[in-house]
Structure 1
Amino acid sequence: MKNIRNILNSRFKGNGNFFMQLTKILGFKPKTLKFYNTAFTHRSMNIKDGKGNAVNYERLEFLGDAMLSSVIASHLYLEVPSGDEGYLTKMRSKIVSREHLNELGRELHLIDLVESKIPPGHFGDNIHGNLFEALVGAIFLDKGYKYCEKFIYKRVITPYVDIQKLEGKVISYKSLLIEWCQKEKKTFTYNVYEDTGNDDVRHFSVKLSISDKVIAKARATSKKKAEEKASKRAFFAFQNRMSKMI
């Protein structure tokens, strides 16, 4: 146990700014630092506690996700008394979308605080949102629900939650397109193939066909991104009809 504490506290010896950076992000002084150390410890550090359990941000990420959903659900319930369950669920999903959480993590520069054996450039995009969720989980364990709720209002709800704007926001163009095709009884296919070209990084191209007609093409660094980009282009091709699904 002592060794784990030494490893987790090592950042304070090598980076005396951690506490100050953390306090600035939180808006209050943390009480129990071990929770925040864990929130910024990547699994590549391969740290385990005395019982052999992994010590990294992933469990806090799970807890933070639940806290975000709870606070935002409560806000929407009170803010939109006319919204039914389906409406409230969709609105909450837009607020806690992976894209939005990644933006929040980037704005706070949370990746700068991570302890990892992997170079920052090798992380996937989702690490920004994962760290944000882990930080929320750490706040809950350290200071309780009220502080957690206050942080979520300060960093998420107050600056970003505009009900009218959210109603028109699309989380996933691919999901929207699939839902529309199913409703309209149209067939669709994503023909994805590797397309490296002259790029150093591997790329993928996709042709999106609806009812056997190619509607959109796109190219990106992953299959998922290429499909989403093509779906977005298809959305604008059928915008008047698909907008009713938002």
Structure 2
Amino acid sequence: MTLRRTSKSRAWLRELGERWKHWWRRLRGDDKEYVPDLIPLFERIDIVPVRTDLYLLAMRHRSCTITDEQGTKLNNERLEFLGDAVLEASVCTYLYHLHPTWDEGELSKCKSSLVSRPVNNEVGRRLHLERYLIMVPSALDNSVDIYGNTLEALIGAIYLDQGYARTQEFIREHIIPTYRDMRAHTVVSIQNFKSELIEWVQKHHLSHEFRLEEHSMEPHDLFTYTVWIDDKPVGRGSGSSKKRAQQEAARDTLELLKKAYTKLQEQED
């Protein structure tokens, strides 16, 4: 359902703002907790919330994790996990119906460009999500991916609060147009090295495995993966997310494998 921006709906949203502050202070047990005013965001994305707690949780970075009365840690990471899956499913559905003649490879390649960190970060910037984030001041400086991560958490909140159909509308209204704006840059800069590696090793009848070697969380998330080819370590890569680290490891592995294969061919000639 699309929100009609009437004076009555605006007044109701403002009233909700006061309720959020009361709810969040009760949860924390004090009156000093920062509570973002999400009304401008709701008006921007055209949503009348039902469960306001979900959206507040979506804005809570893990640097400001809190614990409820049951001892459960509260931050936006679980919503981010859910939103990532919903975003991918929605984009796959969109592409499936938009391009009925495309094969799996074409669909997968376009999906990888659409569901990408640069696109998600840009959508987060356009929605000015930094205005609503509950985080320590240095968190945004340490990782630009906070924009994309928060967007995925927001998608998770919309899905739980509004349902799948409304979430698809949000993605079509914000993700797809941003991707189109960035398309020239995206096609060049986002290459699915992991898919290329899988195709390469299958072509040459080799086994492969991505192994997580290290995960540090200070001052921000940094994952390091090693690619093992036929039970031997080859390439290595790091990134602020598992997906990015695996892509970097795949790129490094591809370069090393192709160099070794070319050298082997030269020796045989």
TMscore range, shorter length: 0.5 to 0.7
Give 1:128's aligned residue: 147
Letter aligned with residue 50 of structure 2? K
Give 1:109's aligned residue: 128
Percentage of identical aligned residues: 35
Letter aligned with residue 170 of structure 1? V
- Structure 1 distance, partners of 2:148, 2:120, is 4
Letter aligned with residue 175 of structure 1? F
Quickly say closer, same or farther: Cα 1:3–1:64, change in 2 above 3 A: same
2:143 is the alignment partner of 1:119: no
Give 1:171 deviation, angstroms: 4.4
Letter aligned with residue 101 of structure 2? S
- Structure 2 distance, partners of 1:68, 1:135, is 11
Letter aligned with residue 4 of structure 1? L
Letter aligned with residue 98 of structure 1? R
Give 1:3 deviation, angstroms: 4.2
2:60 is the alignment partner of 1:4: no
Tell me which stretches of 4 or more aligned residues in structure 1 moved more than 6 Å: none
- Structure 1 distance, partners of 2:31, 2:153, is 16
Give 1:5 deviation, angstroms: 6.0
Matched residue SS, 1:115: coil
Native 8 Å contact 2:63 2:139 kept in 1:
no
Q: Tell me the TM-score normalised to structure 2 length.
A: 0.57
Give 1:19's aligned residue: 38
- Structure 2 distance, partners of 1:115, 1:86, is 40
Native 8 Å contact 2:119 2:178 kept in 1:
no
Query: 2:107 aligned to 79, 85, 88, which one?
Result: 88
- Structure 2 distance, partners of 1:116, 1:9, is 14
- Structure 1 distance, partners of 2:93, 2:163, is 17
**Paired residues, number:** 185
2:145 is the alignment partner of 1:154: no
| 1:116-195 correspondence to structure 2 within 5 Å | 116-158=135-177, 160-161=179-180, 169-172=187-190, 175=193
Quickly say closer, same or farther: Cα 1:152–1:121, change in 2 above 3 A: closer
2:90 is the alignment partner of 1:71: yes
Q: Tell me the TM-score normalised to structure 1 length.
A: 0.62
2:69 is the alignment partner of 1:50: yes
Matched residue SS, 1:170: helix
For structure 2, the 5+ residue unaligned runs are: 1-22, 205-239, 252-269
Letter aligned with residue 83 of structure 1? W
Native 8 Å contact 1:8 1:34 kept in 2:
no
RMSD: 3.7
Matched residue SS, 1:28: coil
For each residue in 1:42-94, what CA deviation from the matched residue of structure 2 results, as whole angstroms up to 9, or x when unmatched? Answer: 11223123332221111111111111111110011111111112221111110
Give 1:31 deviation, angstroms: 1.7
- Structure 1 distance, partners of 2:135, 2:33, is 13
Native 8 Å contact 2:109 2:192 kept in 1:
no
- Structure 1 distance, partners of 2:68, 2:40, is 26
2:41 is the alignment partner of 1:41: no
